[in-house]
Amino acid sequence: MENIQHLIQENEKGKRIDAVLAGLEYNWSRTQVQQWIKEGNITVNGAKTKPNYKAVPGDEVQVEIPDPEPLDVEAEEMNLDVYYEDADVIVVNKPKGMVVHPAPGHLSGTLVNGLMAHCKDLSGINGVLRPGIVHRIDKDTSGLLMVAKNDIAHEKLVQQLVDKTVTRKYTAVVHGVLDNIAGTIHAPIGRDKKNRQSMTVVDGGKLAITHFNVLEKFKDFTLVECILETGRTHQIRVHMKHIGHPLAGDPKYGPRKTPDLNGQALHAGVLGFVHPSTEEYIEFTAPAPASFDEFVEKLRNDVDNPVKKD
């Protein structure tokens, strides 16, 4: 069980305690905080509290985060698109529509279920729900992922992400025609206070940097390459929306009228990193799925209207 303490500050005076805690850097949801309060895991000045308690400067809040309950995640035989595999790492091309790792209430059909059947020996650093997972991509984003097969490899790969030395290039179709042929979006990302299920650019958020290059311009859309320097949740989707060019088909961050693509037009096509054992740089490239290419071809031929929602 992890214990976290927070001292109520002057600028938090009068706010509900659940709102105060949900707004901290840990990205707890308000629902989760309320559940912990109900279970007695959160106290104020040593006493149990209620979600609507109004914070007072100087209050000492203690949060006891219970250990996650072990869940039985079963191996499932899948036809995984494996690009590389050895004793340390496996690189997989994840299809659009597949969730990377299980979550309570959604324990099957994920990439982890398939990996468990494929290679038995995954790093245990991330626990039973995310064995071997070093980084992830969204359900409706296709593309390359690296997965660690032992703890030493896991630690080395994560450190490369921290050091920003991993190559991660994405191809995306965005709304509108970009004026610049290249640029950098340097804007911090955090939880959207109005919608805790979404991320947004926010003062005090986590450092987030995305570089982009224009690949091709169409009548109402642009094909771009996005290069991640950091890897925040929904980073490309949030950053492109922030500059006025949300991803085509994005159900969360896109405009109301957007192409019906069963999710955002985003593909993680290039992944490169230093091998954790050989210390040699290796890089892989996966072509975009056929549905992505078909959409781009429609834009080239100026037949985008048939795929737009009313």
Active-site amino acid positions: 138
| DSSP assignments along 223-263, one per residue | EEEEEESS--TTHHHHHHHHTT-PBTT-TTTS-SS-B--SS
In SS3 terms, 90-139 reads as EEEEECCCCCCCCECCECCCCHHHHHHHHHCCCCCCCCCCCCCECCCCCC
CA gap 45, 289 in Å, rounded: 55
Handedness of CA 205, 208, 213, 214 (dihedral sign): negative
CA gap 18, 8 in Å, rounded: 12
* DSSP assigned state of 307: G
CA gap 196, 27 in Å, rounded: 9
Chain-centre distance of CA 253, in angstroms? 14
Q: Which two tokens stand for residue 57?
A: 């400067």
Q: Is 36:42 a contact under the CB 8 Å cutoff?
A: yes
Residue type, 218: F
Q: Which two tokens stand for residue 191?
A: 């939880």
Q: Is 191:21 a contact under the CB 8 Å cutoff?
A: no
In SS3 terms, 33-101 reads as HHHHHHCCCEEECCEECCCCCECCCCCEEEEEECCCCCCCCCCCCCCCCEEEECCCEEEEEECCCCCCC
Residues 6+ apart with CB under 8 A from 1: 64, 65, 66, 67
